A and B are shown apart, each in its own frame.
Chain A
Amino acid sequence: MKASIFITCICDNFYPQVGNAMVNILEKCGVECDFPTEQVCCGQPALNTGYWDDTREVAKTLLRAFKDSEHVVAPSGSCITAIKEYYPIIFEHDPEYLLLARELVSKAYEFTQFMHQVVKITDLGARFPYKVTYHASCHATRLLGVSPYVHQLLSNIKDIELIPLTHAENCCGFGGTFSVKQPEVSEAMVDEKVFHIKETGADVVTAVDMGCLMNIEGRLKKEGSKIRALHITQLLDEGMRL
C-alpha cells in the first residue's frame, strides 16, 4: 500500500517530529510512504479568513503536488476538512482544478481515519504507562467524525490510563486567525480548556491537530505546567518503542 505524506505547514516548520512519527507508524504498518516536495500549505489560513482568491492560488500547488498519489495522509483533521469541505466550493468555477480537487477529496485522509479505513490496523502494540487525556479537535470530531477511531487507537494501548476531559469537545480557541484577530476571547477559551486539562491530573494531553496543540501547549507552558502536549502520532510512536 502506498501513501503520500501531506505535512501541514505547522508540522513542517514547528513540529517536524509529528511528521516523522506518522511516517514511522505507517511504515511499520507496511505502508510505503513518499513525500511530494512540491507541496505547500492547504491554504486554510486564507480560506478560513475569507480570502478565497488567495487561497485558490496556494491550493493549486497542493493539487498539482498530489496529482498522481494513491492516498494522501495528513496528521491534521482541520487541513483535511479544508480540502474535503471547501476545495470543491472554491474551485467551483475552474473545471480543470475542480477535477483535481474532487480527486484529492476522494483520496485524502486524516491519520486516524486512514488507519481505520485503509490500513485497518487499530492495535499498534504500543505501551504508554501514563495518564492521558484527549482534546477532541473540532473539525476532526464534528466534520470528519474521527473520535471513535481515536478512542480505538488509544484504548488498544497497554498500561495507558485514559482520563476523560470535561468539555472535551469545546473548541480550544485556536481557530487559525481567530486567535490573532480575537486574542482576548481566544485566551479566555484556551484558559478554560487548560483549566480542565489540569483538573484531570493527566501527564499528557493528546489531539489529532497541531493547531489546537500549539495553542494548548503554549498556554500550559506559560502557566509553567509540566503536562506534555503530544500529537496522537507522537504518543503512539513513543509507545511503540517502549
Chain B
Amino acid sequence: MNKIHQGKTFRERAREALKDDFMRQAVRKAVDTLETRKEEATDALGNWDQWREQGKRIREHAVENLDYYLSQLAANVRNNGGTVYFAPEAKDARQIILEIIKKHGGKHIVKSKSMVTEEIHLNKALIKEGLDVVETDLAEYILQLADEPPSHIVVPSIHKSRDQIAELFSNVAREKIPNDTPSLTAFSRKVLREKFLQADIGITGCNFAIADTGAISLVTNEGNARLTNSLPKVHIAVMGMERLVPSFADLEVLLTLLPRSATGQKLTSYISITNGPKKPEDLDGPDYFYLVILDNGRSRILADTEFRQSLHCIRCGACFNVCPVYRQVGGHSYGSVYGGPIGSVISAFLTNDMERYGGLAYASTLCAACSTVCAVKIPLHDLLLKLRHRYVTHKYTPAAERTVFKLWRTTFQNPKTYRLAIKMAQKAQSPLVNNGYIIKGPPPLSAWTNSRYFPKAAEKTFREQWQQQHH
C-alpha cells in the first residue's frame, strides 16, 4: 500500500490535508471548472435527465444479468483470438498478469488508463519482479514520479500544482524544466515516446467491454491508450467485472453520459475500441490480447441487494466534483484507492474490511449533491446512510457514542423525560453563556465552539410558550 494510504482515520488525514492550502486551492479551482463545464455540456443536451435515466437502466440491466453478459463477453473475446482470465482477488490478478508477462519474456511495460490496476496495486508487484513499468498518461506519470496514488478517479493529479510537476520532471531530466504547459508536455512526450518504442507489454484498463462483440473500449484525452494497446506485441486489459455493456447501442448512451459528466466534454479526444489481437489483414495491433476480469469484492456487492446499485457506477467522477467534503480535503484523505462519495460507499466492500473502510460513510454530510449529479442516478447519499447503519450494527462505532445514543433514546422517547432533560440542560448551561452564546464549551461541545458560537438554550422553550398561551 502506498504511504498516503496508511495512517489512521479519515479525520486524521483530513486534518493534515486541511493544512495544505496549496492542494486545497488547486482542488477547489479544478472542481469548479469541471462543474461549470459539465453544466454547460449537459444543458446543451436539453434532456439530460432522460439520458441519465437511460444510462441507469442500461447499467441496471447489465448488472442484474452480469452472469449472462460475462460469459457472452468471454466467448466473444476468445472467438476474436484473445485469452480471458477471471481473477477472484487482487492477488490472483497480479499473479495472472505476471505470468503472462513472463510467458512472453516481457521486460518493459507501458500502462494507460486504469484505476483498476491501482486497486490491485499492480505497479508495486511488477517493479518488485524487476520489471520496468511506466505510466504513460501525463497525470499518472506525474503521480508515479511523486510516488502518490491518484486523488481523483478522472483527474488523478488534480491536487498537484504546475510548479510541483516541473520539479518532479526536473529531477528526472537532471536539468531545469520550466513550469509552463508546453515545456511540461514536451518533456513528458519525449520521455514517454522512448518508453513506447521500447515496450513489449502494454497494460490498459477498460472503460466498457461490449459483450456481444467482445470488444474493449477506452476513452482518453491524450491518446496514450491507443499506443499502449497497439504498439507492444502483447496487450493486457484489466477490467472490473461489472464494467460491461450488452451492445454498441448501450455504449453510445454511456459515451454520451461519461465525458459530459466527467470533464464537460461532448466527446473525449480519443475513443479506442479494440477487438482482440491483430488479424492477418490488420496493419497494426498486438500479436496477443489478454483480458483479465477482476472480481475483488464485486460479487460481494452484487449479492448485497442494498448496495448492488453501486456497481452501476461508470467512474465519471462527477460525484467527486460536487462533493463539499472532497472539495475541502481532496482525495488522499479517504485513504482508499477510490475516494469521494462513490469510494466511500464501495471501499468497505472491495476490501472486505468494514471496520476500517466502513467509517468512510461518515466522510459526508449526506447533502445529496452526489446523488443529484450521478451520471447513472445512484442514490449515493442513501447508500452512505445505509452503510452507516451497517457500520453501527457491526458495533464499529465508538462505545461512548453508542452510550450517548442509548441515553438519547431513553430520554427522547418520552415527552416527560425529554422536558426534564431540557430543564436540566438550561440550568447547566448558565455558567457557560456569554452574551447569549456559548463561546467556549467543554468537550465534546468544544468540537463545535472551536470554530463557531453555540446558541444558548431559550429561557422558555416553544412548547412552554405555547402551553402558557393556550391554557
Contacts and interface: CB of A to CB of B under 8 A. Distances in A.
Interface of A: 5, 7, 9, 11-16, 19-20, 35, 37-41, 43, 45-52, 54, 57-58, 60-61, 85-86, 138-139, 142-143, 169-171, 173-176, 178-192, 214-215, 217-219, 221-222
Interface in B437-455: 437, 439, 444, 447-448, 450-455
Contacts of B451: 183, 186-187, 190-191, 219, 222
Contacts of B387: 50
B178 interface: no
A86 B385 CA distance: 10
Given A7-B462, A16-B462, A40-B418, A214 B406 contact: no
Contacts of B371: 142
Contacts of B463: 7, 12, 35, 37
A218 B448 contact: yes
B452 A215 contact: yes
Nearest to A10: B455
Interface stretch (B79-87, B163-171, B357-365): B357-365
B392 A143 contact: no
B458 A15 contact: yes
Contacts of A9: 412
Interface in B357-408: 361-369, 371-372, 382, 385, 387-393, 397, 401-402, 405-406, 408
Place the interface of chain B in its size category. 35 or more
B408 A54 contact: yes
Q: Which 9 A-B pairs have the closest CB atoms?
A: A175-B365, A218-B452, A50-B388, A16-B462, A138-B367, A171-B367, A50-B392, A187-B451, A54-B409
Given A175-B366, A178-B364, A40 B413 contact: yes
Contacts of A187: 450-452
A171 B412 CA distance: 28
Nearest to B401: A49
A179 B11 CA distance: 12
Given A173-B365, A182-B325, 19 more contacts: A7-B463, A15-B458, A19-B466, A49-B401, A49-B405, A50-B391, A61-B415, A171-B324, A175-B364, A178-B366, A179-B448, A180-B444, A183-B448, A185-B325, A185-B329, A188-B18, A189-B328, A221-B437, A221-B452
A131 to B, nearest CB: 23
B101 to A, nearest CB: 42
Contacts of A54: 405-406, 408-409
A20 B369 CA distance: 32
A46 B408 contact: yes
A170 B328 CA distance: 12
B363 A182 contact: yes
B35 to A, nearest CB: 10
Nearest to A47: B385
Interface in B126-185: none
19 contacts: A9-B412, A12-B462, A12-B463, A13-B461, A50-B393, A54-B405, A54-B406, A58-B408, A86-B385, A142-B367, A175-B367, A181-B11, A182-B363, A184-B15, A184-B18, A187-B451, A217-B453, A217-B455, A218-B448
Contacts of A218: 437, 448, 452-455
A61 to B, nearest CB: 5
B448 A180 contact: yes
A57 B401 CA distance: 17
A13 to B, nearest CB: 5
B103 interface: no
Given A215-B452, A222-B452, A58 B409 contact: yes
B7 to A, nearest CB: 15
B50 interface: no
Contact of A13 (B366, B367, B368, B457): B457
A184 B14 contact: yes
Nearest to A213: B455
A51 B405 contact: yes
B26 to A, nearest CB: 15
A58 B412 contact: yes
A45 B405 CA distance: 9
Nearest to B28: A192
B14 A222 contact: no
A60 B458 contact: no
A44 to B, nearest CB: 10
Contacts of B393: 50
B100 interface: no
Contacts of B458: 13-16
B414 interface: yes
Contact of B415 (A40, A51, A182): A40
B413 A52 contact: no
A79 to B, nearest CB: 13
B467 interface: yes
B388 A48 contact: yes
Given A181-B11, A222-B451, A188 B328 contact: yes
Contacts of A169: 369
A57 B452 contact: no
Nearest to A174: B365
Contacts of B8: none
A202 B158 CA distance: 34
B453 A185 contact: no
Nearest to B436: A221
Contact of A39 (B382, B415, B456): B415
B432 interface: no
A50 B15 contact: no
B322 to A, nearest CB: 8
Nearest to A16: B462
B450 to A, nearest CB: 6
A143 B367 CA distance: 9
A15 B455 contact: yes
B465 interface: yes
A170 B324 contact: yes
A142 B461 contact: no
Q: Which among A16, A39, A185 has the greatest number of chain B C-beta atoms within 10 A? A: A185
B324 A189 contact: yes
A186 B366 CA distance: 13
